[in-house]
């Protein structure tokens, strides 16, 4: 049985003061949680996460990393630097990076490899746009996104990733995929992981307007192993309600 995992993606939000209140609110409300949980913070706040969260059940991670190991890449952050701040996770291939930074499937795959080589768990995001869904291309789009990553991994490495299905049209819009729509894509992704013997091991998260009032139904689906939460991860009470919805 895979454990449930709930990850907050703070995106470009927060400040030292706001983060301090959010992190203490989260850690104070975790009693009885049945899921693993983590927050993915902007890079400058990873040290703050490390000092606030070390020794608690909440893991932390980053929202992106460089595919390169180090050197002349101004502005970039390497996997080893994230590991230096005891990050457990790093999001790769979020649709906002794909859309605003032109990240290709191949670059996302290289970033996943860089993360794994440094001992981090990449949270690999896949998802279709509204136009792609309406054109009946959801299956083909997410399958190509996952294939690019699996092509660079052996079976053992593939079993160490986390996958997140995030329909682009559901992110930050208040429109959620129905549990049935999400489950259909999750089941397809799960089947695709079989080629690397990783179908049983990999947690597949749903993301896109997951909130306290829809989390339970989504996470009750057989192939939905948790959530990648944007907006609702910025309020301790909402984030905790989603974590506790896995009970």
**Which contacts of 210-216 are long-range, i.e. CB under 8 A and separated by 24 or more positions?**
210/176, 210/242, 211/176, 211/238, 211/242, 212/238, 212/241, 212/242, 212/245, 214/176, 215/241, 215/242, 215/245, 215/246, 216/245
Q: Please tell me whether residue 210 binds ligand PGA under the rule CB under 6 A.
A: yes
Segment contacting ligand PGA by CB under 6 A, of 20-28, 109-117, 202-210, 214-222 = 202-210
Q: Please tell me whether residue 203 binds ligand PGA under the rule CB under 6 A.
A: no
The C-alpha R_g of the chain, in whole angstroms, comes to 17
Catalytic residue selected from 96, 128, 132, 166: 166
Q: Provide, rounded to whole angstroms, the least separation between the CB of residue 55 and ligand PGA.
A: 27
Q: Which residues, 29 to 58, sit near ligand PGA by CB under 6 A?
A: none
Q: Based on CB atoms, which residue is closest to ligand PGA, 8 or 114?
A: 8
Q: Based on CB atoms, which residue is closest to ligand PGA, 157 or 185?
A: 185
Segment contacting ligand PGA by CB under 6 A, of 30-38, 46-54, 153-161, 165-173 = 165-173
Q: Identify the DSSP state of 232.
A: G
Q: Please tell me whether residue 209 binds ligand PGA under the rule CB under 6 A.
A: yes
Note if 94 is an active site residue.
Answer: yes
Q: Provide, rounded to whole angstroms, the least separation between the CB of residue 67 and ligand PGA.
A: 21
Q: Please tell me whether residue 215 binds ligand PGA under the rule CB under 6 A.
A: no
Dist. CA 8–CA 42, nearest whole Å: 11
Q: Which residues, 85 to 104, sit near ligand PGA by CB under 6 A?
A: none
Nearest CA to 214 among 229, 234, 203, 235? 229
Q: Please tell me whether residue 231 binds ligand PGA under the rule CB under 6 A.
A: yes
Kindly give, in sequence order, each residue whose CB lies less than 8 Å from that of residue 15, ignoring residues fewer than 6 positions away: none
Is the Cβ–Cβ distance between 232 and 212 less than 8 Å?
Answer: yes
Dist. CA 41–CA 22, nearest whole Å: 12
Main-chain phi, psi angles of 58, to 5 degrees? -90, 125
Catalytic residue selected from 94, 103, 186, 244: 94
Query: What are the Cα distances from residue 36, in Å, to 8, 103, 212, 239?
Result: 11, 29, 17, 12
Q: Based on CB atoms, which residue is closest to ligand PGA, 208 or 226?
A: 208
Q: Based on CB atoms, which residue is closest to ligand PGA, 127 or 157?
A: 127
Dist. CA 76–CA 145, nearest whole Å: 23
Q: Please tell me whether residue 229 binds ligand PGA under the rule CB under 6 A.
A: yes
Q: Based on CB atoms, which residue is closest to ligand PGA, 166 or 225?
A: 166
Give how far the C-alpha of residue 43 lies from the chain's centroid of Cα atoms, to the nearest Å.
Answer: 16
Note if 166 is an active site residue.
Answer: yes
Which residues of this protein are in contact with ligand PGA, per CB under 6 A?
Answer: 9, 166, 171-172, 207-210, 228-232
Catalytic residues: 94, 166
């Amino acid at each position: 049985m895979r454990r449930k995992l709930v990850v907050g993606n703070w995106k470009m939000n927060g400040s030292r003061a706001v983060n301090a209140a959010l992190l203490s609110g989260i850690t104070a409300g975790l009693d009885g949680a049945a899921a693993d949980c983590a927050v993915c913070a902007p890079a400058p706040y990873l040290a703050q996460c490390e000092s606030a969260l070390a020794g608690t059940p909440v893991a932390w991670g980053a929202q992106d990393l460089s595919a390169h190991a180090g050197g002349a890449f101004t502005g970039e952050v390497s996997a080893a630097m994230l590991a230096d701040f005891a990050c457990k996770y790093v999001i790769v291939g979020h649709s906002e990076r794909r859309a605003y930074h032109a990240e290709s499937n191949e670059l996302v795959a290289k970033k996943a490899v860089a993360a794994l080589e440094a001992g981090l768990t990449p949270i690999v995001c896949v998802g279709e746009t509204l136009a792609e869904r309406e054109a009946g291309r959801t299956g083909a789009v997410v399958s190509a996104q996952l294939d690019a990553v699996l092509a660079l991994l052996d079976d053992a490495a593939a079993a160490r990733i986390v996958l997140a299905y995030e329909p682009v049209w559901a992110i930050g819009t208040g429109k959620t995929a129905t549990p049935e729509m999400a489950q259909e894509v999750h089941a397809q992704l799960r089947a695709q992981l079989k080629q690397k013997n990783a179908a049983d091991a990999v947690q597949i998260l749903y993301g896109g307007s997951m909130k306290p009032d829809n989390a339970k139904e989504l996470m009750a689906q057989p192939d939905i192993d948790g959530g990648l939460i944007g907006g609702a991860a910025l309020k301790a009470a909402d984030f905790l309600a989603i974590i506790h919805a896995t009970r």
